[in-house]
């Protein structure tokens, strides 16, 4: 089994998940930031990780999913976000990611909160209509934490 891990990460939250997946996967494996990632051709499993931006997967990963994930590939999606885990905001973003790739098999999905850059948080709070996820962002401090990472490792070893 040959696996590819591709991730996008500005402040390293999603990168931490990517590295935990890399450590937990058996067999041949490669890991790339999205800017350097090849197409998924020749891989049995691809894990694609993104951070949420404006309620969707960040633009680089949206483009990667649309253009470089080939048919017949098995996909594991992972993400970090300021919004609460399990919220509709997160579910909609995951549905959006899956919608970009209707033709592949989804092997699993893992998401958790990721600490939001405080400068971004201040700016966003000052908008006339702050987005829904902002209320949950205080609880994202310190995430992903060891508990998040061990839940992810468990999921990967059970794939």
Ligand X SMILES: Cc1cc2nc3c(=O)[nH]c(=O)nc-3n(C[C@H](O)[C@H](O)[C@H](O)COP(=O)(O)O)c2cc1C
CB count in 10 Å sphere of residue 55: 15
Closest CA to 61 of 109, 9, 23, 22: 9
Q: Which is nearer to ligand X, 16 or 101 (CB)?
A: 16
Question: What is the number of the residue whose Cβ is closest to ligand X?
Answer: 114
- Shortest spacing between CB 114 and ligand X, in angstroms: 2
Least separation in angstroms between CB 136 and ligand X: 7
Length of the chain: 159
| Nearer to ligand X among residue 91 and residue 105 (C-beta) | 91
Q: What is the Cα–Cα distance from 42 to 4, expressed in whole angstroms?
A: 9
Place of tokens 């885990």: 85
Residues found near ligand X in the complex (CB under 6 A): 9-15, 51-55, 80-83, 89, 114-117, 120, 131, 133
* Shortest Å distance, C-beta 96 to ligand X: 11
Closest approach, Cβ 68 to ligand X, in A, equals 19
Which CB atom, from 139 or from 153, has the smaller least distance to ligand X? Answer: 139
Shortest Å distance, C-beta 7 to ligand X: 8
Burial of residue 137 (number of CB atoms within 10 Å: 0-12, 13-18, 19+): buried
Contact 57, 79 (CB under 8 A): yes
What are the phi and psi torsion angles at 101 (to 5°)? -140, 60
In the bound state with ligand X, the residue whose beta carbon lies nearer, of 104 and 115, is 115
> Which is closer to ligand X, CB of 62 or CB of 70?
62
């Amino acid at each position: 089994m040959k696996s590819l891990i591709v991730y996008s990460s500005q402040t390293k939250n999603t990168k931490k998940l990517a590295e935990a997946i890399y450590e937990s996967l058996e067999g041949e494996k490669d890991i790339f930031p999205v800017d350097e990632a090849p197409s998924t051709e020749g891989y049995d499993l691809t894990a694609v990780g993104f951070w949420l931006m404006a309620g969707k997967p960040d633009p680089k990963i949206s483009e990667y999913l649309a253009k470089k994930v080939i048919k017949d590939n098995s996909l594991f999606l992972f993400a970090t976000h300021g919004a609460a885990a399990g919220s509709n905001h997160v579910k909609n973003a995951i549905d959006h990611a899956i919608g970009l790739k209707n033709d592949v098999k989804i092997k699993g999905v893992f998401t958790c909160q990721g600490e939001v850059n405080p400068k971004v948080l201040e700016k966003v709070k000052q908008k006339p209509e702050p987005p829904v996820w902002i209320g949950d962002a205080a609880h994202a401090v310190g995430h992903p934490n060891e508990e998040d990472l061990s839940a992810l490792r468990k999921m990967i070893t059970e794939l």
